[in-house]
Amino acid sequence: MSEKKQKAKVIMVQGTMSNAGKSFLVAGLCRVFMQDGYRTAPFKSQNMALNSYITKDGLEIGRAQAMQAEAAGIEPTVEMNPILLKPTSNVGSQVIVNGEVLGNMKAMDYYANKRQLIPEIEKAFGKLSDEYDIIVIEGAGSPAEINLKENDIVNMGMARIAEAPVLLCGDIDRGGVFASLYGTVKLLEPEEQAMIKGLIINKFRGDVEILKPGLQMIEEKTGIPVVGVVPMTPLDIDDEDSLSDRLTHTERKGVIDLAVVRLPHISNFTDFNVFERMDGVSLRYAGSAGELGAPDLIFLPGTKNTMDDLAWLRESGMEAAILRLSEQKVPVVGICGGYQMLGELLEDPDSVEHGGSMRGMGLLHTKTVFSRAKTRTQIQGRINPDSTCGEFAGLEVQGYEIHMGRTEKTGDCQETIYLEDGRLDGISNPEGTVFGTYLHGIFDYGDLAAMTVSRLMRKKGIDPRNWHFDPEEHKRREYDKLADLVRSSLDMDRIYEILEAGITC
């Protein structure tokens, strides 16, 4: 670490396991500190996720850090997540450093060489430290993965770099929380144990009075105080990865039924979360033709392996089901990899994904050619005012691109979205029932999502005039609810004391 005096106060949230609620706790603390008047930023040195986000300067970071920055009321930047790993297989990932692709690496090769990336982590953290009052750091998985501890750069290794006091959280909803907290602490080195300044029980259901004897015993056994018990509370905040419970939603509840095809390598499924927030709408994930049923609209999402997932669509019978529904004029919307699948042909001359060529679904007269160059941009555009898009014509849209390939028209299609840099993005069929775009997050801004649902309502004879949804206002309310939950569940006076004292307390 540089000898330059660290400006920001630092606190770190680690977990006893993946999906223990670290991302939400970090977001909640960011929101609380922001409300209390501090310039606050999130940080995660290394993230592994297929859900990613493009910053305003065209750099790629984990979606969770973008969400946490949003909770803190700041613009996401690449320094908040200097290393992003996007799995390409069970044993390898695309390695992204400072927002740009370093290359594809097998897990063994990456773990053997990742300590060489520590200067990049220190540089990113140092820049945030110069610009903010408080940095809230998120760990990954568990700090007690004893086979990985030697070269750790994301849990206790990062805590040492940042000289950060640690809050360790455990998920009581999955059971064994006291064993997981105790075992995690005791598998760490004595100096690492001393850096843990508080324990948090997360996702608790029931009467906390029943839990209190256990809290006292875990404090006695570890010598670390419990600084909070966070109840299981429904909050509508974007999840990070495929561990999300959202992907198991298969039931139809609303009068408008939207189905997302659950591809094997699905990515950026947060593109559709906005629809879950709408009254009268059910958003569900279909992993088979039987689960797909007869929805009002089908979404084909992004994927890290377009050609492999297209082959799965074909082999599983899902493609045939989608084609049959499309013939019945059920709208089909593809984003990124899903957009590429909708075309007539996919070519991969450089073996970026699969190699060779593959027939597409044929719902759009387009061809996609994959290339090694990765398009990364955050951009605005406008739906073609001269198109047959009805009430959508002329609507302003925005989102971000993350793709390796170019899609071009090969026949009769509508040019649907014109981007501010002069490029064409969206393409639809002449009838306007099949639409594709590279823009992730296109439904998160403005009225596009609400207008889409309103059109489906009218198609079913439902009057949408008294129905309205504001996604930005909804997000603000949910972040404030998260901050209220953190304030009421954690001993914030103690948290501030830990923050002020650092690792010396």
Q: Which of 92, 70, 66, 90 is nearest to 80 (CA)?
A: 66
214 vs 144, 181, 405, 489, CA distance in Å? 22, 12, 55, 17
349 contact partners, CB below 8 Å, separation of at least 6: 369, 370
b vs e for 402-413, b when ≥16 Cβ sit within 10 Å of the residue's Cβ? Answer: bbbbebeeeeeb
In which element (H, E) is residue 91 found? none
468: exposed, middle or buried (Cβ count in 10 Å: 0-12, 13-18, 19+): exposed
Contact predicate 116/110, CB 8 Å:
no
32 contact partners, CB below 8 Å, separation of at least 6: 483, 486, 487, 492
In which element (H, E) is residue 145 found? none
- Catalytic, 336? Answer yes
Identity at 470, one-letter amino acid code: D
Phi, psi of 378 (to 5 degrees): -105, 125
- Report d(CA 36, CA 26) in Å as an integer: 15
443: exposed, middle or buried (Cβ count in 10 Å: 0-12, 13-18, 19+): buried
> Going by DSSP bridges, is the β-strand pair 52-54/60-62 parallel, antiparallel, or unpaired?
antiparallel
Catalytic pick from 265, 365, 403, 440? 440
367: which strand partners?
A: 345, 408
Catalytic pick from 336, 365, 389, 403? 336
- Catalytic, 249? Answer no
414: which strand partners?
A: 428
Active-site positions? 336, 440
